[in-house]
Amino acid sequence: KDVQKEREPHVYLSKEEVKEKIQSYNSSVTDKLKMTLNANGIYTGFIKVQMELCRPITVQSSQSQGRCSPSSTETAFYLPDGCMNTLHISSTNTVREVIEALLKKFFVADNPAKFALYKRCHKEDQVYTCKLSDREHPLYLRLVAGPKTEMLSFVLREHETGEVMWEAFSIPELQNFLRILDKEENDQLQILKNRYAAYRGKLEEALRGVLKPG
């Protein structure tokens, strides 16, 4: 079940409550991804983000980072569904900053505004997926929910819903999409040709057996 916006009231923890929560969190961690509380009250930790992208992403080569580069250095491809990534963030990082850091980590050249971060949680034997606002703090949500991803997990999706707004994409991105479609079309065509060639071979072999004298 998808919920369009967060409707739960926000609960702000005191410094002492944060300290107790972090101690409880770390005692329950099984993957060594613990949280660290700093003297200034800011804490750091890890979140895991599952990628659920329906459209191709555009990846820029590492050599072209930080300078203007021709479109030939960018490649578009479909990310495998369910791909999981781990980010080290602080309690001050917002959803928008997490999305930007995630895309930067993998050299994704697409506009961060095309993506949204969702939280997925279990309540009363149902799974709810809720889009987070840009001002939410994912690490705080992780701390409150505890380390178990069954209770809370994060998902990255395309921001747009419904029909794709192709005018939001750049010309190099659209050209890459066309190249991907051409490749997929040729691959599917070759599969069909091979399949029918196999059928034809079996039929011809059967006909030779029937027409064989004797």
Under the banding of pLDDT at 50, 70 and 90, the label for residue 3 is very low
Query: Is the confidence at residue 90, as pLDDT, over 90?
Result: yes
- Specify the higher pLDDT residue, 169 or 132: 132
Mean pLDDT rounded to a whole number for the chain: 81
Averaged pLDDT for residues 155-183: 73
Count the helices and strands in the chain (H runs, E runs). Answer: 4, 9
Q: Which two tokens stand for residue 211?
A: 């027409």
Under the banding of pLDDT at 50, 70 and 90, the label for residue 164 is low
Which residues does 124 contact at the CB level (< 8 Å), separation at least 6?
none
Query: Is the confidence at residue 154, as pLDDT, over 70?
Result: yes
Averaged pLDDT for residues 154-166: 71
**pLDDT tens digits along 8-28:** 545 678 889 999 999 999 999
Q: 128, exposed or middle or buried, with CB in 10 Å at 0-12, 13-18, 19+?
A: middle
The pLDDT value recorded for residue 214 is: 56
Q: Is 172 left (phi over 0), alpha (psi -120 to 50) or beta?
A: alpha
Query: Is the confidence at residue 98, as pLDDT, over 60?
Result: yes
Under the banding of pLDDT at 50, 70 and 90, the label for residue 70 is very low
